[in-house]
Every structure is written in C-alpha cells, then in structure tokens.
Amino acid sequence: MRIASERKALITGGGSGFGRLIAHRLHDSGARVAVADIDAGSARATAAELGDGALGLAADVRSASDMARVVHEAQTAFGGLDTLVVSAGVFHIGTLEETSEADWDRTVDVNLKGAFITIRAAAAPLRASGRGRIVTIGSDCGRRGFPGQVPYTASKFGLIGVTESVAAELAPDGVTANCVCPVGCPTTGMGREVLDWKVSHAGKSPDEIVRAAARTNPLGRNATEDDVADAVLFFLSDQAGFLTGVTLDVDGGARLGTVPGVR
C-alpha cells in the first residue's frame, strides 16, 4: 500500500487510541502530522513521540474557532493540508430513562456536530490541495442499534450521512471522504471505558468480558487498533483514489446473520 509522499495531515482525537496510532502510521509513511485533541497534554505527547516537526494542538472539535485555529496552524506549518482524519469521539451508555438531555447533547455535539465543524474548517485547504482525503471513524453503532446507546448510535449513524454528503459535495474538487466503522476494541481509551462499564454491570473480570466478546464475533476476536489504522491508511493510499462515500465495516463479520432457529 503506497501513501502519496509528504501528505499534510490533521488528526482529531490524535492524543489517544486509534487517532494516536494513525498519527504514528501516517508519520512513518513520510507525512507531516498535526494532532488535535481536547486533552492538550496527550496531543503534545503524541507530537513529541513523532518529533520531526509534528504539531500537538489543544482543540475542542465543538468549537469552530478552535478548529479554524488548528487548521490554520497546520496549513501554515506544512504549506497546506490534504488529509483529515476525524477520530475525536466520546461514548455514552445508559438506558433511555438514565440518559439525560445533557448526555445526548455532549455525545451528539462531539461525535456528530464536531465532525461537521472539523470538516467545514478543513474544506478549503483540502479542496485547494487537489488530492484531499477525509476519513471519519464511525462505529458498528452507526450500522445497527444497541440497547443503552441511543445518543451514541444516533451520532454514529449521523456521521455516515455527514461523510456521504461531504463526499458528494467535495468530489468535484478531487476530495474523497470515507467512513471506517470498527467493532469494539478494548485497548483504546474509549475501549477501556466500555470495558469498565461491562465489568461493573456483568460482575465478570475484564479478561472474561474480552474473551466473551471475542466469542460472539464470527472471526472469533475483538478489533485491534492496527485493524482500524490499516483500514484508514488504505483510504489514504494511492490505491483508494477512486473510492469515496464508502462505509467500511472493520468488524470481523459482526454484521453477518446466522440462520434463525439453527444457531
């Protein structure tokens, strides 16, 4: 898989989890990388790991002025911007009755409105680059409903709509936009948060939960951070230049059915 040389990339949520690994993988491919995260310390830590002029920027994806600032900083430092990975996200779990309007607002504001604000801020330089690439990180929760996850699924279903509409709107300027939808990956910050919730609700050990989750997957394991980074890097590669508006499930076949009544 070949990544066009000297990509100029901005990664939201790059201080942790998938975003951090994607920052490393892009940097290894020769890209200039700016990491934006609401957690300033983790953004700076990722940039310091990369070295080589990488930027670590504090920014809240819900803030149009923050996102305008980080896009400007990346553009100025790199002489343009042609790659955007939208990985910033928050999780919420709770029954309908337990879910407050504040829970809804926070989840949808970060995961959905934040993606809109981020992509809107980066659209002009992505168009101007003539080779713009956008990848959003969706979720299996953007593909089907789950109990206790009304705001999160709403935000991730919506993100696919945003990605498809952006793909349609920016295609005339050669910008592609695609969405990668992972199943649960227990090693990221969010993955650990979900695991903690499961432990507290199921009364099982973390190991038991992780093994039980793997058994429910057709391929018999959980997603890894590398599975997700591989899919993102594919969309950023030269080989994916004719793919846009695509949603790619990185789920080990979790969406596949079984024969009712048999298994």
Chain contacts with ligand NAD (rule: CB under 6 A): 12-13, 15-19, 37-39, 42, 59-62, 87-90, 110, 114, 137, 139, 182, 184-185, 188-191
CB of 211 to ligand NAD, least distance (A): 16
CB-closest chain residue to ligand NAD: 17
User: Which C-beta is closer to ligand NAD: that of 81 or that of 88?
Assistant: 88
CB of 74 to ligand NAD, least distance (A): 15
Tokens of 101: 């309007």
User: Which C-beta is closer to ligand NAD: that of 45 or that of 128?
Assistant: 45
Q: How far apart are CA 52 and CA 68, in angstroms?
A: 23
User: Which C-beta is closer to ligand NAD: that of 171 or that of 256?
Assistant: 256
User: What is the full DSSP assignment across the chain?
Assistant: --BPTT-EEEEETTTSHHHHHHHHHHHHTT-EEEEEESSHHHHHHHHHHH-TT-EEEE--TT-HHHHHHHHHHHHHHHTS--EEEE---------TTT--HHHHHHHHIIIIIHHHHHHHHHHHHHHHHSS-EEEEE--GGGTS--TT-HHHHHHHHHHHHHHHHHHHHHGGGT-EEEEEEE---TTSHHHHHHHHHHHHHH---HHHHHHHHHHTSTTSS---HHHHHHHHHHHHBGGGTT--S-EEEESTTTT----TTT-
CB of 261 to ligand NAD, least distance (A): 30
CB of 166 to ligand NAD, least distance (A): 16
User: Which C-beta is closer to ligand NAD: that of 6 or that of 226?
Assistant: 226
CB of 51 to ligand NAD, least distance (A): 20
Catalytic (active-site) positions: 152
CB of 89 to ligand NAD, least distance (A): 2
Q: How far apart are CA 215 and CA 32, in angstroms?
A: 39
Q: Which residues contact 218 (CB under 8 A, 6 or more apart)?
A: 252, 253, 254, 256
User: Which C-beta is closer to ligand NAD: that of 87 or that of 99?
Assistant: 87
User: Which C-beta is closer to ligand NAD: that of 87 or that of 128?
Assistant: 87
